Every structure is written in C-alpha cells, then in structure tokens.
Copies of this chain bind each other. A is one copy, B any other.
Amino acid sequence: MAQMLHDDCPGCAAPDLAFAQHDHAHCAHDALARAEALIAARGLRLTPVRRRTLEILLEAHRAMGAYDMLTRLAAEGFGNQPPVAYRALDFLEEQGLAHRIRRLNAFTACMHPGEAHAPAFLICRACDTVAEAPATPVLAALTKAARHSGFVIERSNIEALGLCHTCQEAAA
C-alpha cells in the first residue's frame, strides 16, 4: 500500500508536472502506452471506447465530467447515453488509469498508472488544473488517526482546492 517511487514513471519522477511547463504530448503518450501495457498484462481489453475515453482525459491535466465526456464520445460515433461514458470511466478508475474527483463530480487521468499510490489531488480554482501529489505521508497520518479509533481504512479521498503557483503570481 506504500507509494513506491519509480524513476521510469513520469508522474513519480515529476510530481508537480501538471503545474509546470512540459512536453504534454509526450506526457500523454507515455501514460497511454503504460495503460495499454497494464491492461494487456491483466488480460483485459482496452476497447475503442475505453481507449478513446482515456485519450480524452489525457488531453489536459484537468477533470472532466461524465456528460462532457459523453458529448465528446457521441460526437465520434459512440453511443450517446450516460452509461456509455460512466462505464468507460468506471472501468478506467477500477484499473487505476483514472481517478474520480468527488469535489468536482468529475474524472481525471491517472498520472502514474501501474504504481501503487495513494493519490491526493491539488485542484487550482483559477486554471482548473488537477495535479496528483505524492500523498504517502498524508495517508500515513490519516491511517494513524484512524487507528486511534480502531478504524481500518479501505479507500480514501484526499482533495485540496486552492491556487497553483502560476495563478498566485497572476493574481498578484
């Protein structure tokens, strides 16, 4: 359950990637390649809808609502009923390729798929960027607090809303 840092995982190597200037085409391509490998290794299928859904999520370091996703998918010839989007998004989430941001009722691509990680999300209220921060110490503190009450954590959501560095400077 502990977060392992892998140098070959771009998300681990550069945790603040989302907020920084970077070669995003490479970043997205890389995440997609990792996803494909992962799904294949598990004997599952990254079908056209699922693959396209992930690609769309990877277009930006943002969160996207299921209905916005549905609009995109429908425009490309996929079904245009809610379950089409929810099923693809749920599949990606179950496989650790996407995360659900509860505060936004939206989904975002996972930036280090395949790595066991406890995600904490930093959501910039100005530019809508969503970054996945290294949260091992955060989860450790939470687990400790829970243990105090004899509570055992199975899943957790840790989300923070605020301003990214760029938007702070823009505000000043």
Residues of A within 8 A of B (CB): 15-16, 19, 102-103, 120, 122, 124-125, 131, 133-135, 137-138, 140-142, 144-146, 148-165, 168
Contacts and interface: CB of A to CB of B under 8 A. Distances in A.
A87 B125 CA distance: 23
A120 B146 CA distance: 9
A19 to B, nearest CB: 5
A154 B164 CA distance: 11
A151 B120 CA distance: 13
Given A138-B138, A141-B141, A142-B138, A15 B149 contact: yes
Contacts of A146: 122, 133, 160, 162
A149 B165 contact: yes
A157 B157 contact: yes
A107 to B, nearest CB: 14
Contacts of A135: 141-142, 145
By CB atoms of chain B within 10 A, which of A103, A131, A151 has the most?
A151
Contact of A161 (B140, B145, B153, B158): B153
B162 A151 contact: yes
Contacts of A145: 120, 133-135, 137-138
Q: Closest 5 interchain pairs by CB? A: A150-B165, A16-B149, A156-B160, A102-B102, A137-B141
A122 to B, nearest CB: 5
Nearest to A133: B145
Contacts of A144: 137
